[in-house]
Amino acid sequence: MDASPSAPAATRPGRAAPRAAAPAGPPRPALEAPTEPVVPDRPSLDGLEDTWAARWDADGLYRFDRSAERAHVYSVDTPPPTVSGSLHVGHVFSFTHTDTVARYRRMRGYAVFYPMGWDDNGLATERRVQNFFGVRCDPSVRADPDFAPPESPPKDPVPVSRPDFVQLCHRLTAEDERAFEATWRHLGLSVDWSLMYTTVSDEARRISQRGFLRLLAQGHTYLAEAPTQWDIDFQTAVSQAEMEDREISGAYHRLRFGRDGHEALEIETTRPELLPACVAVVAHPDDARYAPLFGTSVTTPLFSVRVPVLAHPLADPDKGSGVAMVCTFGDVTDVTWWRELQLPTRTLVGRNGRLHPVAWGDPGWESDDAAGARAAYGELEGRSVTQARKRIVELLAEAGALVGEPRTITHPVKFYERGERPLEIVSSRQWYVRTMPLRPRLLERGRELRWHPPHMVHRYESWVEGLNGDWNISRQRFFGVPFPVWYPVDGEGEVDYERPLVPVEARLPVDPSDDVPDGYRQDQRGIPGGFVGDPDVMDTWATSSLTPQIAGRWEDDPDLFGRVFPMDLRPQSHEIIRTWLFSTVVRSELEHGVLPWSDVAISGWVLDPDRKKMSKSKGNVVTPMALLEQHGTDAVRYWAACGRPGVDTAFDEAQMKVGRRLAIKVLNASKFALGRLAGAPIPDAGAVVAPLDLAMLSGLAAVVEDATSAFEAYDYARALERTETFFWSFCDDYLELVKTRAYEDSFAPGPVSARAALAVALSVQLRLLAPFVPFVTEEVWSWWHEGSIHRAPWPGVDELSPAQHQGDVAVLDMVASVLGAVRKAKADAQVSMRAPVATLSVLDSPERLALLRQAEPDLCDAGGVAELVLREGAPEVIVDLA
C-alpha cells in the first residue's frame, strides 16, 4: 500500500480495509507538476529504444544511491548469464520479470541496487574458446610471448599453453560481454551498469579466494582423497549438483562365481569389465537363499580372486539373482558398500577411462591363479571401458563363466550434465565443503525464505534431503579461480597435503602456479624442501555462490556491503535451485550466518510451440536482438510480463503483436488526452466533479490498489493484466463518452472535469504501465513532464481523491452497457458507428435509470442520440435508428 504519511487510510463501505501497516519503506518521490503538453502529430514507436536508452544512460537514471540507508535500499542478486555464446529468449523472459519488479521498487522510492554480472568463468567458456579459435589447452606447452590464435579454426585443435589459453578466454568473453550489454540496454533493463562485475575479474577472484580461506580457517572445507565422480572426457571431477541421470541401454550379464565344494554362485552385473575390481559380493541380510553363505567366500571367474559374501540392506533381493558384486567403483552403491563394509580398494579405471596396469599377485591383488589373472587381464589392459566390456564377455563365455546370453535393458546412468560418456568413479584428492552436517540448518533456512511461487521450496528441500556427500569444489580445469593454496614438499620429494600453505588475504588474488608462498622462492617450486601449487581451479558454483558478496564488494567496500547485504531478491530459474540457489545459501550461512536474501523469485522456462523447452540443440532459438528489433522492445517485454511467476510459458509472437498494439494504443490515447489539455493550465484531480469522471477514477483507484498488492507479492503479471484491462476499457468506453465534452472550448465545470480526469487517469495509467513498457511510457511522459517517468512516484489512491470517496463505478458500467447496446444495433443494421439514433429508449429499474441520468449528455454525444427516453420497466434497450 501507499507508504506516504500523507495518504489517508480512508475506508469506504464495500472496500476491504487497508492492509496491515506496511514495513517502513522509503519516502515516496514527489510527483512533479506537468508542463504544457507538446504532442507530436504522428507519434511512433520507431527508434524509442535507442533514444531513451541513451538518455537514461547519460542521465545516470538507474544509478544506485549508495547514501541510502538499508531500509530504503532494494537490492537484487541478479543472475550473471553464462558468457558462452549468446543470450537467448529465455534470458529476455526472466530478466524482464526482474526488471519490472526493480522498476516498481524504484518508483516506490527505493534506492534500487540492480547490478549486472557476467559469468565468464568455467567449462562453458573453455568449450566455446576451443571451438571458436580451434585450440586446446595443454598445460605442458610453454607460454609463447608472440602467441596468436589461428586465423580460422583448423581441423585439429592447436595445443596452447595454459596462460595463452586463459588469455583467449578473456579476449572472447570480453567481446561477448559487449554484445550482451548492448542487448540488455536495448531490452531496457534498468540495471546500474557501473556495478557490473565478471566472475573472472580480479575482484571476483579475490572474493572467491577469500571466501575459500575463511572456510578453511573455520574448518568448513577439507582436502580428501576419496572416490570421486569423474568425467573421462573433460578429465575433471564433477559434483553431485552437476550430474544428471540419462537412460541408456545396457545388459545384465549373469556370471558364475566359484564356491569350494558347492554349486557356483550366480550374480548379475551390467559392468562385467569391472570383475577384476571385485572386492566382495553382497546379499540382503534377510535373504534366506544366501544367509548360509554369509561369512564364506567365493572366487571370481577368470581372475580367481577370493571375495567375501557379505550382508547389506542395500542389496535388493528382487534385482538380478539377489546378489550383487561390489567393485571399486562401479557406481555410488559400490562406494557405500565399500565404505560401510570396510572393503579394500582395487581401482581399475584410470582418469582417461581406460583400464590401467595391475600387479596381479602383489599385495592387494592376490589371486589363487595369478598367472591366469595376468593372462586374462592382459586382454583388457589399456582398453576403454566399453572395449574391455566387449572383450571380457568373450573371455567369460569361453571360460564357461557366463550363464546364458546377456539380457539387454535400459537403465539410468549418471552423466556429467555437459558430458557425453557415463561418469566413472575414480579415487582422487579433492577439496570438499562440509554440507552434510549443515543439512538440518539449510532446511530451516529454506523455509525462512519467501519463495515466489511458494511451491518451489519443495525443489530445494528434496535436493537438500537427497544430498549424499559433501560438496566437491575442485575441478581439474584451466579457466577458473585457482585454489589459493600451496603444499610443502619434504626432503624426500613427497608432497605434504596435510599442511597447506596459504597466503595472507591482502595478497589475494593469487595464482599458485605462478605466485610463490610466503617464505619461499620461485626456484623452490617442485623440488625437495620446496613447495608445489595446488593445480586445480574451483567449481564454477564455488564462485557463483558468492554473487551477493561479489556484487556488494564484500570486505573491499564494507560501507556498500552493509547497505545491500543481505539482499532483498534473488531472481532465477528453477533448474538451478540445486546449484546456484543452494550453494549461495550454504556460503552465506557459513560465512555470515544469515540468509543471503529475503525473497526468491523463480521464473519459468520459455517453451517452443510444441511445449518443449527451447534449446539450441533443437535449433529453435530466436536471437533476442532480432526479436526486439522485429517487434519492438515494449512488445517483447509485454509478452514476457504476461508469463506468470514460475510458470513455463510458450514462445508466442502473437502475444508480442498484442504488446505492440498496447504500446501504439498508449501513444494514440495519450495524443488524444493531452491534445485536449494544451493551451491552458492542466486542472488537477480536485476539478473532477462529473459523476462519470468520478466513476472512472474510482475504478482506477481499485486497479492501483490491486496492482500495488500484486507487485508486493511479486506477481507482476497480475499487475499488468489488471492495468491493461482497465486501460482498454478506458480507451473504448470512457474516452468515447467524454470525447465531446472534453473537446468543448469552455471552462465550465463539465468540460474542466473531463480534462482533469483525463490528465489524472493518463498520469496514473502511464505510471502503472511504466515497469512493463518503459519506452513508450517514457516517450509519452516526456510530452508533458521534465523528468523521467521511471523516477516518478508509483501511483497511490490518494492521487485519485476526491474521486475515491465520491465516485460510483456503477455509473460508468451502466452507461457503457447502454452504449454497447447502441453499438450492437448499429452493427446489426450494418451502418457506421456515427449513424444517428433518432430515439434511444432505456427501460430499467429506477435505481439504474438514476445512474444513467448522471451521464445523459455524454451518452447521447457518444451514441449520436437525438432523443433519450428513460422509462421504468423490464430491462430493455430500444434503439430507433433514423
Shortest Cβ distance from residue 713 to RNA (Å)?
9
Window of 466-474, 546-554, 753-761, 836-844 that interacts with RNA by CB under 7 A: 466-474
Window of 73-81, 508-516, 666-674, 778-786 that interacts with RNA by CB under 7 A: 666-674
Verify binding: residue 613, RNA, rule CB under 7 A: yes
* Cβ nearer to RNA, comparing 295 with 820: 820
Verify binding: residue 468, RNA, rule CB under 7 A: yes
Q: Quick one: which H or E segment has residue 480?
A: none
Bridging pattern class, strands 135-137 and 117-118: unpaired
Verify binding: residue 333, RNA, rule CB under 7 A: yes
* Cβ nearer to RNA, comparing 292 with 562: 292
Give the amino acid at 569: L
Shortest Cβ distance from residue 662 to RNA (Å)?
9
Sheet holding 243-257, edge to edge: 265-269, 243-257, 402-416
Taking residues 215 to 244 in sequence order and writing x for each that binds RNA by CB under 7 A, - otherwise, the string is -------------------------x--xx
Window of 109-117, 171-179, 463-471, 787-795 that interacts with RNA by CB under 7 A: 463-471
E-assigned strand segments in 240-304:
243-257, 265-269, 278-283, 297-299
* Cβ nearer to RNA, comparing 527 with 831: 831
* Cβ nearer to RNA, comparing 500 with 571: 571
Query: How far, CA to CA in Å, does 203 sit from each of 124, 529, 564?
Result: 21, 33, 17
Shortest Cβ distance from residue 278 to RNA (Å)?
10
User: Phi and psi of 879, rounded to 5°?
Assistant: -110, 115
Shortest Cβ distance from residue 397 to RNA (Å)?
17
* Cβ nearer to RNA, comparing 609 with 686: 609
Query: How far, CA to CA in Å, does 409 sit from each of 251, 267, 320, 413?
Result: 5, 16, 12, 12
Window of 188-196, 425-433, 462-470, 502-510 that interacts with RNA by CB under 7 A: 462-470
C-alpha cell at position 86: 549468446
Nearest to 771, CA basis, from 718, 728, 729: 718
Q: What is the DSSP string of 360-407?
A: TTSTTS--TTHHHHHHHHHTTTT-BHHHHHHHHHHHHHHTT-EEEEEE
Are the C-beta atoms of residues 94 and 132 closer than 8 Å to each other?
no
* Alpha-helix residue ranges (DSSP H) falling in 154-255: 162-187, 202-217
Taking residues 517 to 536 in sequence order and writing x for each that binds RNA by CB under 7 A, - otherwise, the string is --------------------
Shortest Cβ distance from residue 129 to RNA (Å)?
27
* Cβ nearer to RNA, comparing 44 with 427: 44
- 828, 867, 872, 876: which one binds RNA (CB under 7 A): 828
Q: What is the DSSP string of 575-587?
A: GGIIIIIHHHHHH
* Cβ nearer to RNA, comparing 310 with 473: 310
Could you say which residues in the range 277-316 bind RNA, by CB under 7 A? Answer: 282, 314-316
* Cβ nearer to RNA, comparing 45 with 187: 45
The burial class, CB within 10 Å (0-12 / 13-18 / 19+), for 828 is exposed
Verify binding: residue 608, RNA, rule CB under 7 A: no
Verify binding: residue 647, RNA, rule CB under 7 A: yes
Verify binding: residue 356, RNA, rule CB under 7 A: no
Length of the chain (residues): 882
Could you say which residues in the range 533-552 bind RNA, by CB under 7 A? Answer: none
* Cβ nearer to RNA, comparing 326 with 502: 326
Window of 74-82, 484-492, 639-647, 685-693 that interacts with RNA by CB under 7 A: 639-647
Q: Express the helix, strand and coil content of the chain in percent, nearest 5 each.
A: 45, 20, 40
Shortest Cβ distance from residue 357 to RNA (Å)?
24
Shortest Cβ distance from residue 815 to RNA (Å)?
13
Bridging pattern class, strands 243-257 and 402-416: antiparallel
Could you say which residues in the range 713-742 bind RNA, by CB under 7 A? Answer: 718, 721, 725, 731-732, 735-736, 739
Q: Quick one: angle between helices 89-107 and 162-187, nearest 10?
A: 60
Q: Quick one: angle between helices 716-729 and 653-675, nearest 10?
A: 50
Q: Quick one: angle between helices 633-641 and 774-784, nearest 10?
A: 120
Query: How far, CA to CA in Å, does 44 sit from each of 110, 455, 672, 753, 780?
Result: 32, 43, 14, 29, 10
* Cβ nearer to RNA, comparing 317 with 350: 317
Number of residues that bind RNA (CB under 7 A): 87
What is the distance between the terminal CA atoms of the chain, rounded to a whole angstrom? 51
Could you say which residues in the range 76-115 bind RNA, by CB under 7 A? Answer: none
C-alpha–C-alpha distance, residues 760 and 739, integer Å? 16
Verify binding: residue 843, RNA, rule CB under 7 A: no
Shortest Cβ distance from residue 415 to RNA (Å)?
9
* Cβ nearer to RNA, comparing 516 with 628: 628
Are the C-beta atoms of residues 95 and 187 closer than 8 Å to each other?
yes
Shortest Cβ distance from residue 787 to RNA (Å)?
25
* Cβ nearer to RNA, comparing 440 with 466: 466
Only one residue has cell 545396457, namely 250
Verify binding: residue 833, RNA, rule CB under 7 A: yes
Could you say which residues in the range 239-258 bind RNA, by CB under 7 A? Answer: 240, 243-245, 252
Verify binding: residue 386, RNA, rule CB under 7 A: no
* Cβ nearer to RNA, comparing 131 with 725: 725
Shortest Cβ distance from residue 387 to RNA (Å)?
19
Could you say which residues in the range 402-431 bind RNA, by CB under 7 A? Answer: 409, 411-414
Window of 186-194, 697-705, 760-768, 816-824 that interacts with RNA by CB under 7 A: 816-824
Query: How far, CA to CA in Å, does 52 sit from each of 58, 116, 613, 795, 862?
Result: 10, 19, 33, 22, 37
* Cβ nearer to RNA, comparing 130 with 240: 240
Could you say which residues in the range 6-45 bind RNA, by CB under 7 A? Answer: 44-45
Shortest Cβ distance from residue 667 to RNA (Å)?
8
* Cβ nearer to RNA, comparing 157 with 469: 469
Are the C-beta atoms of residues 81 and 98 closer than 8 Å to each other?
no
C-alpha cell at position 424: 566413472
